[in-house]
């Protein structure tokens, strides 16, 4: 009985760690300049690795598991855990060891900067919503990009202005903007 409670505590700690890591890493992975490509490849990688790892574990434990439900539980737990953790791990690997000193100043042409209010709980009728997200749309080498932050990127910027952003290249080839502190 004691071994089962220790396993449950470890599993619970792993789930909390994964969810906390995703919450911290999500702003970085959503602001990759190639965000769509990053998410597409990391989810596909997670699905593939999850199927392989779940299949291997199921094959190794097949004689010990008596019913179909136990087999499905084992496969599902491994598959879901790997699918959720793969984007987190790949984003960490992409940014690992790449700091502000690796960022290169890059000229961009501003398309627009938009302030918006976003809340998970909706807006209040008692208070006027204040902007808490700022989107910057810009062109770099003829390609349109979008990044967001909780602070404005450039005050008083207008469409067509040429500005400089510090852009870092990650280990897996995904770039992101490093904001000055």
The 10s digit of each residue's pLDDT in 14-60 is 888 888 888 888 888 888 999 899 999 999 999 999 999 998 988 88
CB-CB contact of 31 with 168 (8 Å): no
Is pTM beyond 0.85? Reply is no
Q: What is the spatial distance between Cα 34 and Cα 19, in angstroms, rounded to a whole number?
A: 23
> Which burial class, exposed, middle or buried, applies to 18 when counting CB atoms under 10 A from its CB (0-12, 13-18, 19+)?
middle
CA angle, 29 then 105 then 133, to 5°: 45
- Residue 121's pLDDT is 64
Say how many CA atoms lie within 13 Å of 55 toward its Cβ. Answer: 6
Q: What percent of the chain has pLDDT over 70?
A: 91
């Amino acid at each position: 009985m004691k071994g089962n409670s220790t396993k449950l505590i470890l599993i619970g700690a792993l789930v909390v760690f994964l969810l906390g890591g995703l919450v911290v890493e999500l702003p970085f992975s959503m602001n990759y300049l190639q965000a769509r490509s990053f998410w597409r490849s990391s989810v596909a990688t997670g699905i593939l690795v999850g199927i392989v790892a779940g299949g291997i574990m199921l094959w190794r434990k097949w004689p010990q598991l008596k019913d179909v439900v136990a087999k499905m539980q084992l496969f599902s737990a491994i598959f879901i855990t790997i699918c959720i953790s793969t984007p987190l791990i790949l984003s960490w690997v992409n940014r690992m060891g790449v700091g502000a000193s690796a960022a290169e100043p890059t000229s961009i042409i501003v398309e627009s900067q938009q302030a918006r209010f976003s809340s998970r709980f909706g807006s209040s009728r008692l208070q006027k919503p204040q902007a808490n997200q700022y989107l910057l749309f810009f062109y770099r080498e003829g390609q349109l990009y979008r990044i967001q932050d909780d602070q404005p990127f450039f005050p008083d910027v207008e469409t067509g202005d040429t500005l400089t952003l510090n852009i870092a290249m990650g280990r897996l080839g995904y770039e992101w903007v490093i904001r000055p502190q």
